[in-house]
Amino acid sequence: MSNAPSIAGRDVVTLDTFSEEEIRAVIERARGLKADGYSSTMRGRSLAMVFFDPSLRTRASFAIAFSTLGGTVIDLVAGRDLWQLEMREGAVMDDLADEHVRDAARVLSEYADVIAIRALAREGDWAQERRDRVIVSFQKHAQVPIFNMESVLDHPCQAWGDALTLEEEFGELRGRKLTLAWTYHPKARPLAVPHGVSTMACKLGMDLTVCHPEGYTLDARVQQSLQHTAAHSGGSVRTVSSLEEAVSGADVVYGASWGSIDRHGNAEREAALRGKHKDRRLTTQLMSATNGARFMHAMPIRRNVEVDDAVVDAPGSLVVRQAGNRLHIQRALFQEVLGVQ
C-alpha cells in the first residue's frame, strides 16, 4: 500500500491541485486494478453524472467504471432531464431558469456519493468563461466530491489516464519529450485537453513542447502555472510555432486542436484565423522526424484533417489504449476519493 497522503473527500477538477506523489499513487492503484481485477468497493454507493455537452468516452467510461465496482449510476442530460439551472448567486429568477444550482447541487448530494459534471465553454468573453462557473458552482454548493468530466479549463481524468498509458509505455516519464501539437480542425475545440495534458506532463517531470500557430496560446494563467510546475518537478516547458521543429526528437506527439482565446466568443474572426492553418496535419512524414514517437490524441479525431489515417492506425498509436485506460484510472480515483483502502 502507498504511503502517499490520502486524497479522500477531495474534488477532482484539475491535476494542478494534486502533488506529484498523489498523482503517482493513483496511477499505481490503477495499474493494480487493471492487472488484478477489482471488487465491489462501490456497492451501496452512487454516482450522479450531469452532462451539459455530448460525450462518448467519458460518459461510457465513468458509468462502466463505477457500475462494475458495484455502484449505481444516474446519467442526467442538461436541457433534457434537468430543470434549466441558474448559476448566478443572488439572481432574481424571473427569466428562463427554473432551479438554482445551489438547490440542484445540494439535492443531488442527498442521493449521490459523487457528482460528476461535463460543462464546456459557451460563446462568451474568455475572462468570464475561464472562471468555469458550472464546475465551480457545483463545488461550492455540493456536499460530496465533484469530478470534472471536462470543463472550460481542464479534463483531469483524461490527463490522469494518459499518464497511466505513458507509464505503461515508457516506465519513468521524467526527461521524456512530449510535444503537444496544434492541428487544424473545422471547429474551435476546447482548451481543456491541452491544459490537462500539459499540466500532467509538467507534474511528472517531462520536457513539454507546446506547438501552435500565432493566436493559439494556452490560457495565460495556465502557462504561468506550467512554468512553476516544471521548475518544481525538474521538467521543462517551451513553446514553438514550427511543427517540424516541435516534433524533432519527440518521444510522444500528442495531437490536439483548440480555439483562439483572443477570438473566443467571435466565431467569425476565429474561423478566419483558423482557416489559415488548414495544412497543420500530423503526417507519417512528420512522425518520421521524431524519436520513434508514440502518437496520442484524446479523441474524437477528425481523420485526414487533424491527422492522417496512417498515423492514427500505426503500431505506435496509443489512442485506443488511452481511451481504455480511462476506465482503470477512474476506478482508482473513485476508490481513492471515497476512501477505499
The site for ligand CP (CB under 6 A) is made up of: 55-58, 150, 158, 298-300
Give the list of residues 6+ apart from residue 100 with CB closer than 8 angstroms, or none. Answer: 85, 86, 91, 93
With cell 442526467, the residue in question is 76
Whether the Cβ atoms of residue 292 and residue 30 lie closer than 8 Å to each other: no
Nearest in space to 22 (alpha carbons), one of 202, 143, 160: 160
Q: How far is the CB of 190 from ligand CP (least distance, A)?
A: 9
Q: How far is the CB of 40 from ligand CP (least distance, A)?
A: 26
Q: How far is the CB of 329 from ligand CP (least distance, A)?
A: 12
Indicate the residue among 38 and 62 with the shorter CB distance to ligand CP. Answer: 62
Q: How far is the CB of 7 from ligand CP (least distance, A)?
A: 22
Distance CA 1, CA 170 (A): 23
Indicate the residue among 189 and 274 with the shorter CB distance to ligand CP. Answer: 189
Indicate the residue among 4 and 218 with the shorter CB distance to ligand CP. Answer: 218
Q: How far is the CB of 150 from ligand CP (least distance, A)?
A: 6
Q: How far is the CB of 54 from ligand CP (least distance, A)?
A: 7
Indicate the residue among 5 and 54 with the shorter CB distance to ligand CP. Answer: 54
Indicate the residue among 57 and 100 with the shorter CB distance to ligand CP. Answer: 57
Indicate the residue among 109 and 158 with the shorter CB distance to ligand CP. Answer: 158
As beta bridge partners, residue 236 has 207
Whether the Cβ atoms of residue 30 and residue 325 lie closer than 8 Å to each other: yes
Distance CA 16, CA 202 (A): 10
Residue at 110: amino acid letter: E
Distance CA 29, CA 160 (A): 12
Q: Where is 72: in which H helix or E strand?
A: strand 72-77
